[in-house]
């Protein structure tokens, strides 16, 4: 199952944040959360614990008619809830808090959803009022980025479904997009160990004066049991923690890497498809699942899926299938993260079938076709998916690895950048 296929339902928008953001009057009166720029993990966890305890107590009070009940937007009483008092300060600081610990996620899941109109407004105002990074901020950002780069020593490898070249030959994947494996020779390059985070991407957008990602308002007409209505909601605010993967369009990913090149004077770019696969396979080794000594014909996909689910469970939440913190899965033998796990990543190449006939000599630093209509996204290893699988994203559709084309509401993926040089100069 592809976890990025899950989409947030309108009825669950902002549940991640909102569960911990609308405080009962009693909690607000007793709150001991220090007023600081953001909540520590301990403060957030303590606040959620108090919410959980008071929610249960207030539910009983509401049942007995001992408090003013919560009402729906239509003015109807919700008898099992006491009316909530809003704590906007908690909202502002929670959105700046890195992804909560597992126990916080579990507590968030136990709390009930509240209508999020005001929460969305508070979050958006807070995010948009943050200042642009200073010159010193950018210097620190560049140094942090430099520390996150890993050297991939160049070499020659067979790109694509190398199972066809083994004796006896056998396809590793069910895909046709990675058939026609061919030899590639790469020069040394540097690659980011982890995917770019929302906090890192926000630094870029604030520096360039661009709109913040994950703050788009969606409007749509729906029909619920024969009752048509129009809804508006922010599907991405609920999982907009600073440490989460930035999921953007290909152009946005490309522009971010170009910005890194500008502020660092290093030749940053999106990785070529060959560089990405070479890194995912820890230097082009026969690691279709990104794991050392794991032959693809010996791996039980269901067992791998179970293992990844257990890892993901450490960071679970109402929508943990849709996004999670960068660097959860790994490292692989090359010391890189999230090539094992879930989600797709952008590469620089236009989408096309691998060359036919197969070149007899290795292609040196291939960058794909000069033009095209789809951009390539590469899949991390999960279940039936390997690091050999490829996707092609067009304007409003996606070409899957079996060659089928389907409409796609959004064409976004995670990404990381490379430096096309053997060292930081």
Q: What single string gives the DSSP state of each residue in 302-314?
A: HHHHHHHHHHHGG
Q: Using the structure block, give the residue that is written with the tokens 């899950």.
A: 6
Q: Using the structure block, give the residue that is written with the tokens 């020779």.
A: 185
Mean pLDDT computed over every residue of the chain: 76
Taking the C-alpha atoms of residue 172 and residue 48, their distance in angstroms, rounded to an integer, is 46
Q: Hey, what are 7's tokens?
A: 């989409």
CB under 8 Å to 50, separation ≥6 — which residues?
Answer: 27, 30, 31
**Beta carbons of 325 and 99 less than 8 angstroms apart:** yes
CA dihedral 344, 345, 350, 352 (to 10 degrees): -40
Q: Architecture of 135-419 per CATH?
A: Alpha-Beta Complex (3.90)
Q: Where are the domains of the chain?
A: 20-112, 135-419
Q: What angle, 0 to 180 degrees and rounded to 10, lies between the N-to-C axes of helices 117-128 and 88-95?
A: 60
Beta-bridge partners for 150: 191
Provide the whole-model pTM: 0.78
Closest CA to 284 of 332, 320, 346: 332
The residue count of the chain comes to 425
Taking the C-alpha atoms of residue 193 and residue 221, their distance in angstroms, rounded to an integer, is 42
Sequential pLDDT tens for the chain (425 residues): 233 332 233 223 233 333 333 333 333 322 322 333 566 767 666 766 666 566 567 666 666 767 666 555 555 655 555 555 556 666 666 677 776 655 444 444 433 344 356 677 878 888 989 999 999 999 999 999 999 999 999 999 999 888 888 777 777 777 777 888 899 999 999 999 999 999 999 999 999 999 999 888 888 887 777 778 887 777 777 668 888 899 999 999 999 999 999 999 999 999 999 999 999 999 999 888 877 655 555 566 666 666 666 666 554 444 455 567 888 787 888 999 999 877 899 999 999 988 888 888 999 999 999 999 999 999 888 767 788 889 899 988 888 877 788 887 668 999 999 999 999 99
């Amino acid at each position: 199952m592809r976890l990025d296929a899950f989409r947030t339902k309108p009825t669950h928008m902002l549940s991640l944040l909102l569960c911990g953001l609308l405080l009962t009057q009693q909690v607000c009166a007793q709150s001991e959360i220090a007023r600081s720029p953001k909540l520590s993990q301990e403060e957030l966890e303590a606040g959620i614990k108090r919410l959980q305890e008071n929610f249960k107590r207030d539910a009983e009070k509401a049942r007995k008619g001992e408090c003013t009940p919560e009402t729906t937007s239509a003015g109807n009483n919700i008898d099992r809830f006491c009316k909530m008092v809003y704590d906007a300060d908690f909202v502002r600081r929670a959105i700046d808090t890195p992804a909560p610990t597992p126990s916080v996620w579990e507590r968030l899941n136990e709390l009930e959803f509240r209508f999020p109109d005001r929460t969305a407004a508070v979050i958006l105002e807070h995010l948009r009022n943050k200042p642009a990074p200073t010159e010193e901020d950018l210097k620190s950002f560049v140094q942090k980025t430099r520390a996150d780069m890993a050297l991939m020593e160049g070499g020659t490898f067979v790109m694509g479904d190398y199972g066809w070249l083994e004796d006896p030959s056998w396809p590793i994947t069910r895909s046709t997009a990675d058939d026609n494996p061919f030899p590639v020779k790469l020069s040394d390059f540097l690659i980011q160990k982890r995917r770019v985070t929302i906090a890192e991407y926000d630094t870029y957008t604030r520096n360039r004066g661009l709109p913040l990602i994950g703050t788009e308002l969606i409007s749509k007409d729906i029909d619920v049991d024969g009752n048509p209505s129009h809804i508006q909601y922010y599907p991405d605010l609920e999982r907009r923690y600073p440490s989460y993967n930035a999921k953007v369009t290909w152009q946005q990913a490309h522009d971010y890497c170009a910005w890194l090149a500008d502020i660092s004077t290093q030749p940053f770019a999106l990785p070529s498809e060959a560089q990405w696969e070479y890194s995912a396979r820890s230097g082009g080794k026969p690691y279709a699942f990104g794991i050392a000594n794991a032959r693809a014909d010996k791996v039980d996909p269901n067992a791998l899926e179970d293992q990844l689910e257990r890892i993901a469970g450490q960071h679970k939440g109402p929508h943990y299938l849709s996004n999670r913190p960068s660097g959860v899965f790994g490292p692989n033998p090359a010391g890189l993260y999230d090539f094992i796990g879930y989600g797709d990543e952008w590469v620089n190449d236009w989408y096309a079938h691998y060359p036919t006939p197969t070149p007899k000599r290795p292609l040196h630093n291939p960058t794909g076709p000069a033009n095209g209509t789809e951009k390539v996204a590469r899949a991390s290893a999960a279940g039936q998916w390997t690091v050999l699988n490829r996707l092609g994203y067009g304007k409003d559709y996606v070409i899957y690895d079996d060659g089928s084309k389907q409409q796609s509401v959004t064409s976004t993926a995670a990404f990381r950048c490379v430096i096309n040089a053997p060292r930081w100069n």
